[in-house]
Homo-oligomer: A and B are copies of this chain.
Amino acid sequence: MKTSFPIIMSYEVVGKDSQGGFMQVFRKTGLSLILGTMMVLPAAQAYEVAAHEVPVPDTVSPALQQDIAKGPSLNWNQVPSDAEGWRKAVSQSAQKVAVKAEALAEQLKVSIKESRMAGVRVFILTPSVVRPENKGRILLHIHGGGYVFLPGKAGLQEGLLMAAKGGYQVVSIDYRMAPDHPYPAAMDDAMAVYREVLKKYPADRIGVFGTSTGGGMTLALVLRARMEGLPLPGAIAPGTPWSDLTKTGDSYFTHEGLDTLLVSYDGFLKGAAEIYANGHDMKDPLLSPVYGDFSGFPATLLTTGTRDLFLSNTIRVHQKMRAAGVDADLIVMEGVSHAIYYLLPPDAPELCYHFSQLDKFFSKHLKQ
């Protein structure tokens, strides 16, 4: 490339603009040049947000206030350095969380039945009452955890809440994970279960939902179902989806240190992305679905929060879906960091709001 601006010492290609045009930003010099128009723009530089206190909001419930008051997670950057370290970290957390999930199932009166579909372990979650209009419907739940955490019953919390709060039968997929089973094992398992469920239920009676990694996989499942010529589910509800495994998108930067659960990309997230992608291109839409084509997607409900590190991961999908004409709906919850809406006590107003919105959404869009 020839240029007539000798003061430009270095540059980096930072991606394409929203219309697909090639763009280079000269961050170091503070000059930017858009090829094509050859226009010299004013400084395309970062600016600094000064250190500031964020009080516990008085516009959220006492339950959420308590959660926020704990402050940011302290171990967000204690990333294991090898596969053995990951296995140990995963197993330690899974044991604790599984106990909580079993207690929650008892409290909510949801039965957990372990089973297999096409060789993949699943949990069939059945509430004490399946609402009459939901008898012909099924919800697939894909748990979160960065493609490494929450195996087995540890991944059930969100599925149990949906089963109980909405009166649905839920199939929660215990897909294989990294480090032992990197991409595409998790998606292969989710697809295998989806294909099995399609044998028993018409697609327009199947809903798919999940948070974080489970939200990303929900989107990837639809992309892959379309690629494979399968009928698409009737409706999907990806909660704060991990739609971009690279550190791309505004809120990875603007909400750094604000989100109490994730805190920053440059800790567990980065580590998990690397160990799951395992050398594959992280911008492949089946890893980072925000780069996929959403045209023809079923009705979609996305959830995020005002403190969510994944605010942009969520709204970039929403914006792109809406531009493609998808019936895409969005909820942003006051004071909520990543995924917190389902980690509160089961009677917390924010949790109840989230699941009641999902219930209304699936009730509206799934055939009976």
Contact = CB atoms under 8 A, between A and B. Distances in A.
A43 B49 CA distance: 26
- For chain A, give the interface size range: 35 or more
Given A46-B56, A257-B52, A319-B331, A251 B306 contact: yes
A53 to B, nearest CB: 4
B306 A318 contact: no
A267 to B, nearest CB: 15
B42 A66 contact: yes
A349 B71 CA distance: 37
A27 interface: yes
Interface in A321-336: 322-323, 329-335
Contacts of A249: 57, 59, 334
A256 B51 CA distance: 10
Nearest to A249: B59
Interface stretch (A11-19, A115-123, A148-156): A11-19
A65 B44 contact: yes
A99 interface: no
B51 A51 contact: yes
A111 to B, nearest CB: 30
Interface string A49-80: 11111111111111001100111100000000
A25 B69 CA distance: 11
Contact of A49 (B45, B51, B66, B306): B51
Given A318-B332, A334-B312, A250 B57 contact: yes
B322 A25 contact: no
A134 to B, nearest CB: 20
B48 A307 contact: no
Nearest to A333: B319
Interface in A347-368: 349-350, 353, 357
Given A18-B61, A249-B334, A47 B34 contact: no
Interface in A242-271: 248-251, 253-258
The main secondary structure of chain A at its interface with chain B is mixed
A45 B69 contact: yes
A48 B258 CA distance: 8
A32 interface: yes
Contact of A54 (B17, B47, B316): B47
Most B CB within 10 A of own CB, among A14, A70, A254: A254
Contacts of A357: 322
A365 to B, nearest CB: 15
A343 interface: no
A311 interface: yes
Contact of A58 (B15, B43, B48, B66): B15
A333 B19 CA distance: 15
A248 to B, nearest CB: 6
A315 interface: yes
A322 B21 CA distance: 38
Given A47-B53, A250-B307, 15 more contacts: A15-B58, A15-B59, A19-B349, A44-B65, A45-B56, A45-B69, A45-B71, A46-B54, A46-B56, A49-B51, A49-B52, A58-B248, A319-B331, A319-B333, A330-B331
